[in-house]
Amino acid sequence: MCGIVGYVGPQPALDVVVNGLARLEYRGYDSAGVAVQGGGALHTEKRAGKLANLRQALENHPVEGDGAGIGHTRWATHGAPNDVNAHPHVDNDHRLAVVHNGIIENFAALREELEEAGCKFVSETDTEVAAHLLSTELKRRGDRDLAAAMRAVCRRLEGAFTLVATSVEDPGLVVAARRNSPLVVGRGEGENFLASDVAAFIAHTREAVELGQDQVVELRADSVAVTDYDGAPVDVNEYHVDWDASAAEKDGYEYFMLKEIVEQPRAVADTLLGRVTADGRLALDEMRLTPQQLRTVEKIVIIACGTSYHAGLIAKYAIEHWCRIPCEVEVASEFRYRDPILDQQTLVIAISQSGESMDTLMAVRYAREQRARVLAICNVNGSTIPRESDGVLYTHAGPEVGVAATKTFLTQLAACYLVGLYLAQVRRMKFDDEIDAVIGQLATMPDQVERVLETVEPVRELARSLADARTVLFLGRHVGYPVALEGALKLKELAYMHAEAFAAGELKHGPIALIEEGLPVVVVVPSPKGRGVLHDKIVSNIQEVRARGARTIVIAEEGDESVRPYSDTLIEIPAVPTLLQPIVSTIPMQVFACELALAKGNDVDQPRNLAKSVTVE
C-alpha cells in the first residue's frame, strides 16, 4: 500500500517529507522518492528499495529545498519496482512533479493521446500520464492555476487514485485530489500537511481534515482550500486525532489485526480494481500466460499452505463449476514428495501471501522442472514465488502486519474467483452475459463485507463468553467446509486452544463421538436457495449435535428461518451467491477468534511460535 506525504511551511520540506515517509514504512513499499521546491527549480530524488536507499542518495547528492515538498513510498502496480518507475514523476520541462496512489484505469488511451501530442515518457507507470496531463492542461489554460488544472485532469481519469502535485510556477503550493483512495490533511500553525495516513504528520499536529470523495485540496502554509471536481467549495470534516505518534501506525486500533479486519472491504475492492476492460472483458494484465496457453490446460493443481490452502479449497469449487477442468488442491509441503503427475498441460496455481513461503516455493520449482505452467497468486510485489512463476495475479491487499491472515485471505478468494472467471472466458466455457453477471456480483462484495462488519458486536460478546472453553468444533458443507477449516485454524493460531473442523457429512462417521454437554459447535450453513439439498442435510446435523447437548453457533444467511429453532446463537450474514459466500461467512470466524484470544490476554498480532512467512521447510 503506497504512502504519500505533502508539506508546505517554514520547516525544511525535505526533512518533514522524508521523516513522514519513514512513519509510513509499515504500509509496505518497494521504492521511495521526493520532490521539493527550491530556488525557482524543482529538485527530485527517488530510489528503488527501502527508504535507506533514498536517504543515502540524498546524502550523496544534497537537495536544496525550501517550504514545499511531496514524497511517496510505492507499492508497484504498473511497471517494475525500479528507480525509473519510482515516484515522483515529472513533466518534460521538469517544472511539475506528481505522486500517486491507486490505479488509473484508462491510462493506456491517455498515454497514446499524449505521445501523439509530443510528450516523451520515460517510465512504465500510469502515474506519469497524470504529470503530462497536468502540464498540458496548464499550458492550454495559459495560467498558473494548478488546482484548476488538477480538477480538469481528474474529470478525465477513470479508476481509484490519490494525486499530489507541486509546480515551481506556483511556489509554496501543493495540490492534491482523491477518488476512492485515502488522503487526509493535517492543519498546523503556519504550516499544513497531507498524507495517506495521519501517521505521517502526527508528530507535528493532531488537527486533521478528512477529504471526501472527488475533492481537490490546495495546500499553502496559511490556508487549506477544498473544492469538488467542478471547482465548487465544499464543507470538510475536521477532527482531532486523539492518539500519539506511536499508536498512529495502527490507526488508533490496539492491534494491527483489528485494523486489518476492518480494512477488508477496501482490500477486496482493491483486488478487483482495474480487472475489467471498457467492453466488460476480464483483463488480468499481470498474468503473462496467453489465452492460447490457458486453452491447452487439461488439469489444475493448486498448491498452498495454511490459510492460503483454505483459499485454494474454495477455488476448487469455483474453478470446476465455471470451467469444467479437473482441479486438485495440495498442501505445498507434501506436494513434491509424493511424485505428482504433471506435464505441459497442467496449470499449477501457487497461492502465497508473502511470496516467500519455502514449502510453496519448492513446490513451484518442482512443478517448473516437470514443465507445468505456474501461476502465482500473491500479495507482495517482486517476491520470489511470482518471480519464478510463469505469471502472477497480485492481490493488492497492502501490508498485513498481523501474523494471522485476515484481509489477505479474503483478497486471495477474490483473486481465485477472477482466475476462475478468466479461464472460463478464454476457454469459452461461459457466455459473456454469464461472466458479466458474476463480475457484477463480485463487485458488490466489498459492500457486503462492510455490512457484516457493522453487525459483529454480538460475535464479540459470544467469544468473550467462551474464553474458558477447552475446545470448539466447526462444521460445514460445500464451500462452507473450507470456511470451517479456516475458523478452526484461527482459534488455534490466536487462542491457543484445540479446534477442529469437519465436513458435516462426516459427522456420523466418527466426529459425533466428541459431542458432549455444552461443547461449542460452529456450523456454516449453505444457502437454502443455492444449495437446498445440502442446506436440509446440515440442518439435520445441527439437530443431531444439539440433541446431544452441544451449544450450537449457526452462521446462516439472512431470512433463513429454518435454522433458528436449532440455534443457540444465530449469526446472520447477507444472502449472496453460494460460491461467493465464503467472503462474508469468514468474517464472523475472524472476529470470534480475535476476540476470544484477546479475552485470554493473548497478543493477536504476534501469536506465540508463529511467523508471518515460513521461509524454511
The three state secondary structure string of 335-389 is: HHHHCCCCCCCEEEEEEECCCCCHHHHHHHHHHHHCCCEEEEEECCCCCHHHHCC
For the stretch 542-552, pLDDT in tens is 999 999 999 99
| Residue 500 buriedness (CB in 10 A; 0-12 / 13-18 / 19+) | middle
Phi, then psi, of 336 in degrees rounded to 5: -75, -10
Which residues make Cβ contacts (< 8 Å) with residue 579, sequence separation at least 6? 317, 318, 321, 417, 479
Residue 613: predicted pLDDT:
58
Pull the grid cell for residue 308.
492460503
Pull the grid cell for residue 555.
452462521
- Comparing CA positions, the residue from 435, 284, 402, 428 lying closest to residue 349 is 284
Of 232-246, 388-402, 509-523, the one with minimum mean pLDDT is 232-246
At the topology level, CATH places domain 3-244 in Glutamine Phosphoribosylpyrophosphate, subunit 1, domain 1 (3.60.20)
Residue 39: predicted pLDDT:
84
Other CB atoms within 10 A of residue 358 CB: 17
Burial letters 573-610, b for 16+ CB under 10 A, else e: bbbbebbbbbbbbbbbbbbbbbbbbbbbebebbbbeee
Q: How would residue 616 be classed by pLDDT, with cut points 50, 70 and 90?
A: very low
State the catalytic residue, choosing from 299, 492, 600, 612. 612
The strand ranges marked E within 106-249 are: 159-167, 174-179, 184-187, 192-195, 207-210, 215-220, 223-228, 237-240
Q: How would residue 64 be classed by pLDDT, with cut points 50, 70 and 90?
A: confident
Which residues make Cβ contacts (< 8 Å) with residue 92, sequence separation at least 6? 119, 120, 132, 135
How wide is the angle at C-alpha 373 spanned by C-alphas 371 and 375, nearest 5°?
150
Residue 551 identity: R
What 3 state SS string does 462-508 have? HHHHCCCCCEEEEEECCCHHHHHHHHHHHHHHHHCCEEEEEEHHHHH
Phi, then psi, of 396 in degrees rounded to 5: 55, 40
Phi, then psi, of 42 in degrees rounded to 5: -110, 125
Q: How would residue 554 be classed by pLDDT, with cut points 50, 70 and 90?
A: very high
Of 47-51, 114-118, 440-444, 578-582, the one with minimum mean pLDDT is 47-51
DSSP for 36-96, written as a single string? EEETTEEEEEEEES-HHHHHHHHHHS-----SEEEEEEE--SSS-SSTTTSSPEE-TTS-E
- Same topology between domain 260-443 and domain 451-599: yes
Residue 213: predicted pLDDT:
80
Largest Cα–Cα distance of the chain, in whole Å?
Answer: 81
Separation of alpha carbons 434 and 602, rounded Å: 46
Other CB atoms within 10 A of residue 539 CB: 21
How wide is the angle at C-alpha 426 spanned by C-alphas 420 and 431, nearest 5°?
85
Mean pLDDT score, 573-589: 97
Q: Are 272 and 414 in contact (CB under 8 A)?
A: yes
State the catalytic residue, choosing from 2, 119, 327, 416. 2
Residue 472 β-bridge partners: 499
What is the residue whose three cell numbers read 513451484?
A: 364
pTM of the model: 0.70
Q: Are 423 and 323 in contact (CB under 8 A)?
A: yes
At the topology level, CATH places domain 260-443 in Rossmann fold (3.40.50)
Most confident of 193-202, 483-492, 502-511, 598-607: 483-492
Active site residue 430: no
Q: How far apart are the first and last CA of the chain?
A: 29
For the stretch 254-279, pLDDT in tens is 898 999 999 999 999 999 998 988 88
Whether 148 has a pLDDT exceeding 70, the answer reads yes
Per DSSP bridges, beta strands 41-48 and 68-74 are unpaired
Residue 512: predicted pLDDT:
93
Active site residue 2: yes
Per DSSP bridges, beta strands 327-331 and 299-304 are parallel
- Comparing CA positions, the residue from 378, 408, 16 lying closest to residue 174 is 16
Whether 2 has a pLDDT exceeding 60, the answer reads yes
Stronger pLDDT, 100 or 356, i.e. the higher one: 100
Separation of alpha carbons 551 and 549, rounded Å: 7
Mean pLDDT of the chain: 91
How remote is the C-alpha of 435 from its chain's centroid? Answer: 23
How wide is the angle at C-alpha 405 spanned by C-alphas 87 and 442, nearest 5°?
75
Whether 247 has a pLDDT exceeding 70, the answer reads no
Pull the grid cell for residue 156.
478525465
At the topology level, CATH places domain 451-599 in Rossmann fold (3.40.50)
Most confident of 135-139, 252-256, 399-403: 135-139
Separation of alpha carbons 301 and 332, rounded Å: 10
- Comparing CA positions, the residue from 336, 338, 325 lying closest to residue 299 is 325
Phi, then psi, of 365 in degrees rounded to 5: -65, -40
DSSP for 151-178, written as a single string? HHHHTT--EEEEEEEEETTSTT-EEEEE
- Comparing CA positions, the residue from 240, 100, 74, 247 lying closest to residue 163 is 100
For the stretch 193-218, pLDDT in tens is 999 877 789 889 989 887 878 999 99
Residue 533: predicted pLDDT:
84
Sheet holding 207-210, edge to edge: 41-48, 31-38, 68-74, 3-8, 192-195, 184-187, 207-210, 237-240
* Domain residue ranges of the chain, discontinuous segments joined by +: 3-244, 260-443, 451-599
Pull the grid cell for residue 112.
497514446
